Chains A and B, each alone.
Chain A
Amino acid sequence: MTYEQPTKQGQFGVYGGQYVPETLMEAVNELEQAYEEAKNDDAFNKELNHLLSTFVGRSTPLYFAKNLTEKVGGAKIYLKREDLNHTGAHKINNTTGQALLAAKMGKRKVVAETGAGQHGVATATVCSLLDLECVIFMGAEDMRRQKLNVFRMELLGAKVIGVEQGTATLKDAVNEALRYWVSNIEDTHYIMGSVLGPHPFPVMVRDFQSVIGTETKEQHIELEGSLPDAVVACVGGGSNAMGMFYPFINDTDVKLYGVEAAGDGIETKQHAATLTKGTAGVLHGSMMYVLQDAFGQIQGAHSISAGLDYPGVGPEHSYLKDIERVTYRAVTNEEALDAFQQLAKLEGIIPALESSHAVVEAMKIAETMEEEQSLVICLSGRGDKDVETVRDHLKKEE
């Protein structure tokens, strides 16, 4: 059976939907219509593809990690090098698409949330290019952790606003960005950074990120003459994973693995393993798995990687878990730190801490596979932003 999600109402099974204040309804409906038009508009797609190749630097390589493969001893391991994109992560695939759409809709102002700062930087970058006004909300706690990214966004002309409310992290930055959007609805577009939020954001972000999986498919066929046997990606909100998985959804021989952050361990309270430990709930406009208490209050998430530090996960991932098309697992901070260093030493690539989670699980899976099989890791971003965090952590251990 061919996979056709979401429904016209933006539901992936019971997940997704549009659980937003009435003031936003016209805006999300307008966005849905504009996106439907743009999707089938040759001029829009031509412009997007032009920017993706000349500004973002696509296509990104599918790289055979020979040393890592030898070390693990099992399936061939390929890395889809999203870390080589302009601004250093997959985030810009989506911000380029959405900023073009905003301009097409005549909205000259953009608001966005950011956790680690990667989505904020990618948004500020494209806004600078397209001459859009840009406001970024960022948790005050995250601003302290990611000072350089704050400066980077400001250099690009964005206004960064610290969020002290709640846990002062990504979840609260989304709340504030939504409140800002409600208050500036007439002339502002919200560039959601992941496959989250009310319809059409989850499907639109997935589609803009699908270039990852589409390229991977073509490149793998060219290199190996067939599709990979397994694909592994990290999952916070889930945008790089959705972009990687979606083009493979109907290729049921290809096993798909999503890797969440187990933080200090899923048996502790310090984790962000939403699909592993969460339950269905409504947050930020969408029904999805969330971390919550018995009374429906959303709980804080924890991961060493700020990009995975979110107590919800995209509605489509929630659905893919339930129908068992994707297998979701969780790996700890310690494991991720170890993989971070291994990839640096073995391959000369410093991965983002987020992507390091995928590397951990991929090594475990590859080991159980045959030598003639192959596995692709979505290396969603580079680790420059994490070097300080890792250094501090290693110092503490000494």
Chain B
Amino acid sequence: MPTVHTHGKEYLDTIFHNHLKQNKKLFVPYIMAGDGGMDQFIENLQFLDQAGASAIEVGIPFSDPVADGPTIQEAGKRALEDNVTLPAILAIIKEHRSTIQAPIIFMSYLNPILQYGLDIFMKDAKDAGIDGFIIPDLPFEQQSLIQPHLDENELALIQIVSLTSSTQRLQTIAEASQGFLYAVTVNGITGSRDTFESTLEQHFAQLKKYSNVPVLAGFGISTPEHVKQLSQYADGTVVGSKIIELLQTKDFQSIKELIQAKGEV
């Protein structure tokens, strides 16, 4: 008998808690929904789940992704050119959700879900087995727009903090985060980087103090060395652009190496 889960905030918390309890660091890969076709999308989710992803971040394609670098922009463009839509993404995830253990987090710009209708969307997302959301263009101050709908469906809203956020802001946002806290590690957009600022260790120590949920590092992380380095400071890492590149070239081995680099607590 397959276990029946109620997806949402609690599921995400439980899975992350279990990982950390077993002294495992967290690793969250990002993929673009529908890039390479819908069948490929499901296969990618299943592969990442099997390969040990702690959760999977699913990007919703948008015409104007201002927080994203070239790799994710191009992936979104390919999906849109293939006429991938939000209802279709929800439908196919719902169909295959029972084959994927990892929590699924949607990373969507505000407008696609706004046009879907916030209340219906959150119900449908819950129904499809989505556990939480990252909305990169919905800063803390504007979240009253969406929070009631999330609460009603017990879905997690993952907060983002940046290197430019003031200490007071870091604290307020970190305390409010659900699921995990997404700490942006560079001043900039998504995409590969060579190096990170030397002050990151301190930054993460501060965030972990404020946050009631795991703190994950994201943006610019592209090598096993990066994963290893940042996993020492944070509770885990999010890798996007690099995963998209590796999936495109079907380099599954390198993806496994990235995931394995997360190491132990």
Q: Residues of A at under 8 Å CB distance from B?
A: 9, 17-23, 25-27, 165-166, 171-172, 175, 178-179, 182-186, 281-285, 290, 292, 294-298
Residue in A9, A23, A296 whose CB lies within 8 Å of B162: A23
CB-CB contacts below 8 Å: B65-122 with A:
65-67, 69-70, 73, 77, 80, 85-87, 109-116
B142 to A17, Cβ gap below 8 A? yes
What 13 new A-B contacts, CB under 8 Å, besides A290-B111, A294-B115? A18-B139, A20-B66, A21-B67, A22-B165, A23-B163, A25-B162, A26-B165, A26-B166, A165-B73, A171-B64, A295-B87, A296-B62, A296-B116
Proximity string of chain B (150-191) to chain A, C-beta cutoff 8 Å, 1 when within and 0 when not: 000000000011111110010001000000000010011100
Most B CB contacts (10 A, CB to CB) among A183, A184, A186 go to A183
Smallest beta-carbon distance A357→chain B, Å: 25
Q: Which residues of A contact B138 (CB under 8 A)?
A: 19
Sampled A-B contacts (6; CB under 8 Å)? A9-B141, A182-B66, A185-B187, A285-B137, A295-B85, A296-B62
Decide: A281 and B188 in contact? CB cutoff 8 A.
no
Asked if B64 contacts A292 (CB within 8 A), the reply is: no
Other-chain contact of A284, B66, B85, B139 (Cβ < 8 Å)? B66
Q: How close is B169's CB to chain A, nearest CB, in angstroms?
A: 7
Give A185 to B184 CA distance when docked, in angstroms.
Answer: 14
**Which of B111, B113, B160 has most A Cβ within 10 Å?**
B111
Q: How far is the CA of A175 from the CA of B70 in the complex (A)?
A: 12
Q: B141–A21 contact, CB under 8 A?
A: no
Closest 5 CB pairs of A and B: A296-B115, A183-B188, A296-B112, A23-B162, A296-B111
Q: Are B62 and A19 in contact, with the CB atoms below 8 A? A: no
Chain B residue numbers with a CB within 8 Å of A18 are: 139, 141-142
Assuming the contacts A171-B64, A185-B164, A283-B111, asked whether A19 and B80 have C-beta atoms less than 8 A apart, the reply is no
Contact B113–A22 (Cβ < 8 Å): no
- For the complex, what is the distance from the CA of A26 to the CA of B110, rounded to whole Å? 20
CB contacts (< 8 Å) of B114 on chain A: these are 281-282, 296
A33 to chain B, nearest CB (A): 12
B36 within 8 A of A: no
**Contact partner, B115, options A22, A172, A281, Cβ 8 Å:** A281
In the complex, are the beta carbons of A175 and B66 less than 8 A apart? yes
CB-based contact A23/B188 at 8 Å? yes
CB-based contact A21/B66 at 8 Å: yes
> Which residue on A lies nearest to B188, using beta carbons?
A183
Cβ of B136 under 8 Å from chain A:
yes
Cα–Cα distance between A82 and B62 once the two chains are bound (Å): 37
* B63: Cβ under 8 A from any A Cβ: yes
Interfacial chain B residues near A17, Cβ < 8 Å? 142
Kindly name the residue among B115, B141, B160, B163 whose own CB sees the greatest number of chain A CB atoms within 10 A. Answer: B115
Give chain B residues whose Cβ lies under 8 Å from the Cβ of A20: 66, 137, 139
Does the CB pair B66–A179 fall under 8 Å? yes
A295 contacts B141, CB within 8 Å?
Answer: no
User: Would you call B115 and A292 a contact (CB within 8 A)?
Assistant: yes
How many whole Å from B159's CB to the nearest CB in chain A?
Answer: 8
Report the nearest A residue to B173, measured CB to CB: A22
A284 touching B136 by the CB < 8 A rule?
Answer: no
Contacts known (A19-B110, A182-B187, A296-B112); A166 close to B137, Cβ less than 8 A: no
| A67 nearest CB across to chain B (Å) | 45
Instruction: Note all chain A residues with C-beta closer than 8 A to B62.
Output: 296-297
Residue among B66, B69, B77, B116 with the highest chain A CB neighbour number at 10 A:
B66
Selected from B69, B116, B184, B189, the residue in CB contact (under 8 A) with A22 is B184
| Residues in A neighbouring B73, C-beta threshold 8 A | 165
User: What's the minimum C-beta distance from A190 to chain B, rounded to whole angstroms?
Assistant: 12
Query: In whole Å, how far is A17's beta carbon from the nearest beta carbon of chain B?
Result: 6
A295 touches B160 (CB 8 A): no
